[in-house]
């Protein structure tokens, strides 16, 4: 089998010639990415190029409110300190301005949003006052990526779901409060964004995108941020609608969801997910791979789940143990893709991390058939 055939077979819950090996965040096929990496990455890049099955994503370019309207203008002012850039933004809408702020760390640490634009229901009304003009992004980069990748893998279309479009301007704290105090307004907003997501998916399908569409954002509605009941009401029925459009076109759906998914595992099957990633094991998550295989493995391909923190600092024998355990539990019967739970984000890869990636790949190659 080619890598492309192997991945698609697994996502369809089939049993390929060997377990697909997806090294997330190591696109060794991409010459530009490879050229930009520190020399410390070279052993990992070389082994990934030899043995990896590539599953990169392509993000369509669309606005924060999923509208191409010109009646939405963003301006910003930046203040610089020794350690960070502090950016204050003004969003001008037909119903009045919104204000927000975020930081960029100059030392390479993760930045953060310090003020969200939608703090009140009036702010939400202002955001939704922007006229809806369907997004129609240029899709040429997707085709270019798949052409360069060839049969070494599958480029999937990466989408945000409706709850993500609501959480981005509100933040998780306000969304959690509104789930109790203003539940109907949450449902109304999710309905608005679901219709926009459906329009975008229909456009992308019309442009020949696929066969795999991937969704992010469900992790913003799992415990402890929201309750299982919230997930069933705010996510499952709404995400099922664009998923259905993909199925009707012969495509497949991939869902990415960190955190504690144990109480909503069956919801991913109910909304029609063909593949679920990354299924973090306890203590980061709350469900073992064995339990996930037992509960939904006959309907949903499982992609995971070697903990990325262990990839950074655990001894090699622990990585080898985790890889073998994943293969023993989830590979029988098919419907499994081996990966780590996050991507390498460091500029320089430490020696222990390099050894762990090498161990991960070599163990997968030896025992994944």
Q: Tens digit of pLDDT for each residue in 257-293? A: 999 999 999 999 999 999 999 999 999 999 999 999 9
Give mean pLDDT, residues 224-233.
97
- Residue 339 forms beta bridges with which residues? 305
- pLDDT computed for residue 369 by the predictor: 86
Q: Give percent above pLDDT 90 in the chain.
A: 95
pLDDT of residue 105: 84
Average pLDDT in the chain:
96
pLDDT at residue 46 is higher than 90: yes
User: H helices within the chain, ranges in order?
Assistant: 3-11, 31-36, 42-51, 121-128, 140-149, 162-181, 183-206, 228-234, 236-248, 265-270, 289-296, 308-313, 316-330, 351-367
What was the pLDDT predicted at 152? 97
Question: Tokens 């909503």 sit at which residue?
Answer: 264
pLDDT at 83 over 90: no
Q: Please tell me the predicted confidence (pLDDT) of residue 107.
A: 77
- pLDDT confidence of residue 142: 97
Q: Which residue has the tokens 């955001």?
A: 127
Question: Is the per-residue pLDDT at 353 higher than 80?
Answer: yes
Q: Is the pLDDT of residue 182 over 90?
A: yes
Q: Which helix (H) or strand (E) holds 343?
A: none
Query: What's the rounded mean pLDDT across residues 23-27?
Result: 97
Over the stretch 242-252, which tens digit does the pLDDT of each residue have? 999 999 999 99
> Which of 10, 13, 29 has its CA nearest to residue 21?
10
Residue range 3-69+132-367 forms a domain whose CATH class is alpha beta
Note the pLDDT of residue 303: 98
When pLDDT is averaged across residues 129-142 and rounded to a whole number, the result is 97
CATH 3.20.20.210 residue ranges of the chain are 3-69+132-367
How far are the Cα atoms of 47, 172, 221 from residue 165, in angstroms, in the given order?
38, 12, 12
Is residue 108 predicted with pLDDT exceeding 90?
no
- What's residue 109's pLDDT? 73
pTM of the entire structure?
0.95
pLDDT score, position 111: 82
pLDDT value for 8: 98
- Give the lowest-confidence range in 57-61, 109-113, 143-147: 109-113
Q: Rounded mean pLDDT of 142-149?
A: 96
pLDDT value of residue 82: 84
Q: In angstroms, rounded to a whole number, what is the distance separating the alpha carbons of residues 100 and 126?
A: 14
Q: Which tens digits make up the pLDDT trace of 55-82?
A: 999 999 999 999 999 999 999 999 998 8
The predicted pLDDT at position 228 comes to 97
CA 293 – CA 284 distance, rounded (Å): 18
Q: Which residues make beta-bridge pairs with 102?
A: 87, 113
């Amino acid at each position: 089998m080619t890598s492309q055939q192997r991945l698609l077979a697994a996502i369809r819950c089939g049993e390929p010639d060997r377990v697909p090996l997806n090294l997330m965040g190591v696109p060794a096929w991409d010459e530009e990415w490879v050229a930009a990496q520190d020399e410390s990455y070279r052993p990992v890049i070389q082994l990934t190029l030899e043995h990896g099955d590539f599953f990169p994503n392509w993000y369509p370019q669309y606005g924060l409110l999923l509208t191409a309207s010109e009646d939405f203008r963003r301006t910003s002012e930046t203040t610089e300190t020794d350690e960070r850039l502090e950016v204050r933004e003004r969003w001008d809408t037909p119903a009045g301005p919104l204000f927000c702020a975020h930081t960029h760390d100059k030392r390479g640490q993760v930045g953060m949003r310090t003020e969200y634009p939608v703090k009140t229901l009036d702010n939400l009304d202002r955001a939704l006052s922007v006229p809806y003009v369907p997004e129609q992004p240029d899709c040429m980069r997707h085709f270019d990526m798949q052409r360069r990748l060839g049969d070494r893998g599958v480029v999937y279309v990466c989408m945000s779901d409706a709850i993500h479009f609501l959480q981005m301007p509100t933040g998780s704290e306000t969304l959690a409060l509104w789930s109790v105090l203003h539940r109907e307004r949450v449902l109304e907003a999710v309905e608005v964004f679901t219709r926009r997501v459906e329009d975008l998916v229909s456009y992308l399908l019309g442009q020949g995108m696929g066969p795999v569409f991937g969704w992010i954002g469900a992790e913003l509605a799992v415990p402890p941020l929201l309750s299982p009941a919230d997930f069933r009401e705010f996510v499952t029925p709404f995400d099922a609608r664009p998923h259905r459009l993909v199925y009707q076109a012969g495509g497949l759906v991939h869902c990415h969801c960190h955190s504690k998914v144990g109480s909503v595992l069956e919801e991913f099957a109910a909304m029609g997910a063909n593949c679920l990633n990354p299924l973090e094991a306890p203590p980061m998550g709350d469900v073992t791979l064995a339990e996930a295989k037992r509960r939904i493995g006959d309907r949903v391909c499982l992609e995971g789940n070697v903990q990325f923190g262990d990839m950074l600092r655990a001894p090699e024998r622990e990585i080898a143990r985790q890889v073998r355990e994943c293969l023993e539990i989830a590979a029988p019967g098919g419907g499994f893709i081996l990966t780590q739970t996050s991507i390498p984000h460091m500029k320089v890869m430490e020696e222990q991390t390099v050894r762990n990636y090498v161990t991960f790949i070599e163990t997968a190659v030896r025992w994944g058939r």
